[in-house]
Amino acid sequence: MNRRALLKAGLVAVPTAAAVTAGGVGRWWAGIDITTAGRIRFVNRLAVPPLARSERDAEGRRVFDLRAAPGRHRFRPGRPTPTWGINGPHLAPTLRAARGETVLVRFRNDLPETTTLHWHGMHLPAAMDGGPHQPVEPGATWSPTWTVDQPAATLWYHPHPHGRTAAHVYRGVAGMFILDEPDPPALPHRYGVDDVPVIVRDINLTDGNRLDERERSQGGVGIVGEHVTVNGTLAPYLPVTTQRIRLRLLNASASRIYRFGFASGRSFALVGTDGGLLAAPHPTTRVQLSPAERAEIVVTMRPGEQDVLRGLPPDAGLNFWDRRLTGGDDILDILQLRAAPRLDPSPPVPDRLAEPPRVAAPGTPPDRTFRLAKYTINGRPMDMNRIDFAVAHGGTEVWEVTAIDGTPHNFHVHDVQFQVLSVGKKPPPPHLRGWKDTIHTPPNVPIRIAMRFRGHPDPTNPYMFHCHILNHEDRGLMGQFVVTPEGRLPRSAAAPSHHGH
Ligand code: C2O
Ligand code: CU
Ligand code: CU
């Protein structure tokens, strides 16, 4: 398929003047800013990941069967692309469970490589976490079980094998995990109708339609893709049949930061972040998500109207080159919303949604500080055999995290949802006032987060904390902690490493 045919199909990212004057260096454009604003013909109906089937076992547990395997997925005309997926060729079904339920996942790895499956944002025992210490060999199975004990939220799941996370996620192993609670506020909730997952991933395709895994960008963040997919669909449109639609935005990209907004500039209601609903809806025109962050938004449409969800240049505090080389100047059309001529009524967004987090008071001094750089935390790279510290079971801690090397980073902590106490010297802005498990860390801005380690002491199995730019994580921007009864490291503070990274 030649470039013209692709252009006709609306699938070519057009380099802007900057790239063209850089001397027609062709493929190098991925390191240069691109804009697809107004240039995509939205010809493909948005795929919605199926809800995973589950059954109740004799013990009353909700049981899911997941099988990861290679497959082929059609991103665009021409050859199908070799991909990985769970229970299908690409991406993974949406899991759904309610607070108080016990979940059992029977996971089988039929990929050609050892992988893991991590429940991002979930509060659960470390042995069930699916981090790098729970490898699943090809042909093997792993059956984690835990009881859901946290507010309704949009979580997700993805592989976490040490050093290989970027590749496994990029090939397509990623899905949503929606948690419910009894008596939710009156928000749109019909899955795939007015409550729709929006899993955003950027990819590069070779001329032969293979996933291009080369790091084309010079910015040190790994793959920056020129094509943005939603739920695995390129150039997608979503038919809207109700006055209001709830979009569960998940940035499942390896490294891009998206500042989502609409082409029309319309305002929408931000109703939830990583770990649950906000106390009240926040009306805004933009919401920025770094890798792994989520946002739930409610968009109000008029009959017959169309609009485009767009990724605008993020506000990431980077210098010119770091910004340019990490895709930070790009403008990307992502998803078209097409409202039907008649729309079913939706209730207004309630004024009150949830209890806000109250873990610690704003001025609380930090118990620990973390300095992030490529590719270390506090000067040390990840070591599978080193547990960095222990926290006390049931205790509350305040951590201060600062990115110190001027390049893009964020910070994710396993097992907990945290409260953001401050960003620099300021109180958190409205979009950071709800539960979070991942937060963007702009250069040299200390961020204080507070969390409570309320369950599952285990002196041997660690939880991870890391930058979720997957290339950074893979290269060592990660550490591990254990939760112990006293908050002290066991005498031999070595993690039960299964393999010798
Ligand atoms: Cu999304 Cu350590 O993971
Ligand atoms: Cu995680
Ligand atoms: Cu980083």
Q: Assign 21 a pLDDT band (cuts: 50, 70, 90).
A: very low
Task: Give the model's pLDDT for residue 12.
Answer: 46
Ion ligand 2 contact residues with beta carbon within 5 A:
120, 414
- The closest-lying atom of ligand 1 relative to the alpha carbon of residue 158 is 1
Share of the chain above pLDDT 70, in %: 91
**More confident call, 31 vs 245:** 245
Cβ of 323 below 6 Å from ligand 1:
no
pTM above 0.95, yes or no: no
- Whether 367 contacts 398, CB under 8 Å: yes
For residue 414 and ligand 1, the question of a CB distance below 6 A is answered with yes
CA of 177 to the centre of ligand 1 (A): 13
| Dist. CA 131 → ligand 2 center (Å) | 8
In the numeric block, the tokens 């809806």 are attached to 281
Report angle CA 258, 28, 80 to the nearest 5 degrees. Answer: 70
pLDDT band at 34 (very low <50, low <70, confident <90, very high): confident
pLDDT digits (tens, 9 = 90+) for 328-379: 999 999 999 999 999 999 999 999 999 999 999 999 999 999 999 999 999 9
162 lines ligand 1 (CB under 6 A): no
User: Nearest ligand to the C-alpha of residue 132?
Assistant: 1
pLDDT in tens, 405-426: 999 999 999 999 999 999 999 9
Please give the average per-residue pLDDT across 31-52, as a whole number.
91
Closest alpha carbon to 46 in 230, 315, 311, 227: 230
Question: What pLDDT digit, counting tens, does each position of 154-201 carry?
Answer: 999 999 999 999 999 999 999 999 999 999 999 999 999 999 999 999
Is 168 near ligand 1, meaning CB less than 6 Å away? Answer: no
Mean pLDDT of the chain: 92
d(CA 151, CA 195): 18
Is residue 261 predicted with pLDDT exceeding 50? yes
Q: Is 157 exposed, middle or buried (0-12, 13-18, 19+ CB in 10 A)?
A: buried
Q: Look at residue 55 in the predicted model and tell me its pLDDT.
A: 97
Q: Where are the beta strands (DSSP E) in 353-393?
A: 368-373, 376-377, 389-392
pLDDT tens digits along 366-395: 999 999 999 999 999 999 999 999 999 999
Most confident listed range (10-24, 309-323, 370-384): 370-384
Higher pLDDT, 27 or 296: 296
Task: Point out the ligand 1 atom lying closest to the alpha carbon of residue 120.
Answer: 1
Its sign, for the CA torsion 282, 284, 289, 295, is positive
Per-residue pLDDT at 3 exceeds 50: no
- Each residue of 267-289: pLDDT tens digit? 999 999 999 999 999 999 999 99
pLDDT band at 17, cuts 50/70/90? very low
Give the tens place of pLDDT for each residue, 113-149.
999 999 999 999 999 999 999 999 999 999 999 999 9
Say if ligand 1 is within 6 A of residue 133 CB.
Answer: no
pLDDT digits (tens, 9 = 90+) for 432-473: 999 999 999 999 999 999 999 998 899 999 999 999 999 999
Give the model's confidence band at 494: pLDDT under 50 very low, under 70 low, under 90 confident, else very high.
Answer: low
Does residue 160 have its Cβ closer than 6 Å to ligand 1?
Answer: yes
Asked whether the predicted pLDDT for residue 497 surpasses 90, the reply is no
Residue whose entry in the numeric block shows the structure tokens 């659960």: 124
CA 218 → CA 167, 224, 457, 467, distances in Å? 18, 10, 42, 19
Q: What is the pLDDT of residue 322?
A: 86
